[in-house]
Amino acid sequence: MLRIENLGVRFGQKELFSDMNLHVGRGEVVCLTGPSGCGKTTLLKAVMGFVSPFQGTVVVDGIQLTPQMVHIIRHRIAWMPQGLSLPCEWVREMVRLPFDLRVNRGTSFSEEKLQEYFCTLGLDTSLLDKRLHEVSGGQRQRILLAITAMQEKPLVVIDEPTSALDQASTQKALQFVQRLATEGRGRAILSVSHDPRFMEGCDKVIDFTNHKS
């Protein structure tokens, strides 16, 4: 589903990483780890075309990332950024955001499915009717994970999904991600995490320290 070949990204004169190769297939959960600032999140952004690499290629579902194809590639991705703070007043409003997009109009928004995901992640469905500032960081993280799953995209890109979660919630989130990867036709999951409890459950862990120039 995702193939990265010889990818290299610079910020100004500084080379973040180079010659990066990675393959994530359907049913696989891959985790990038390494010290802060080594380029893990940048790699996720490069997959979505938010960062231009100086070398290498990104191929999603057989389509190479170019300015002409970036939109088609983004159609195949569900993205959960790190520490996302959206200017929404209500949780329900935040949940609905991606489903108002044309690309997701074919994906029917099911309240039952959302409630099921909430339960799996240990969330109370009454959260939906709360104001966004009333929910904790950990709850927000799990809500975003549920929204990402609801989009039913073949490639799921998640940045630090468990950074604000306790042991029990991390376990639930990990099981949820594993289930996402394998159920139905399967999805490819590319994640970034510093959390050893999360990494343990991933199929592949790539330490970015080795890719630093």
Partner 1 sequence: MGTTIDISYWGLGIGMLLLLIPLYFFHRFKTGLVKATIVGAIRMVVQLFLIGIYLKYLFLWDNPWINFLWVFIMVFVATETALSRTRLKRNILMIPIVVGFLASAILVGLYFLGVVLQLDNIFGAQYMIPIFGILMGNMLSSNVVALNTFYTNLMREQQLYYYLLGNGATRHEATAPFVREAIIKAFSPAIANMAVMGLVALPGTMIGQILGGSSPNVAIKYQMMIIVITVTASILSLMITLWMAARKTFDSYGCIRQVFKE
Residues that bind partner 1 (CB under 8 A): 48-50, 52, 67, 70-71, 74-75, 77-79, 81, 84-87, 97-98, 101-104, 151, 153, 157
Work out how close the CB of 64 gets to partner 1 at its nearest, in angstroms, rounded to a whole number: 13
- Choose between 128 and 150: whose C-beta lies nearer to partner 1: 150
Work out how close the CB of 68 gets to partner 1 at its nearest, in angstroms, rounded to a whole number: 8
Work out how close the CB of 174 gets to partner 1 at its nearest, in angstroms, rounded to a whole number: 22
Sign (positive or negative) of CA dihedral 88, 94, 98, 100: negative
**80-86, Cβ contacts within 8 angstroms, sequence gap of 24 or more:** 80/144, 80/145, 80/147, 80/148, 80/156, 80/157, 80/158, 80/159, 80/161, 81/159, 82/41, 82/159, 82/160, 82/163, 82/192, 83/160, 84/140, 84/144, 86/132
- Choose between 70 and 205: whose C-beta lies nearer to partner 1: 70
- Choose between 83 and 196: whose C-beta lies nearer to partner 1: 83
Query: One-letter amino acid identity for 47?
Result: V
Give the number of C-alpha atoms closer than 13 A to the C-alpha of residue 5, restricted to the C-beta side.
7
Tokens, residue 45: 């952004």
Under 8 Å CB-to-CB from 70, ≥6 apart: which residues?
48, 49
Work out how close the CB of 133 gets to partner 1 at its nearest, in angstroms, rounded to a whole number: 16
Question: What angle in degrees, to the nearest 10, is found between the helix axes of 111-120 and 137-150?
Answer: 130
Work out how close the CB of 85 gets to partner 1 at its nearest, in angstroms, rounded to a whole number: 6
- Choose between 9 and 199: whose C-beta lies nearer to partner 1: 9
- Choose between 62 and 210: whose C-beta lies nearer to partner 1: 62
- Choose between 192 and 199: whose C-beta lies nearer to partner 1: 192
Work out how close the CB of 102 gets to partner 1 at its nearest, in angstroms, rounded to a whole number: 7
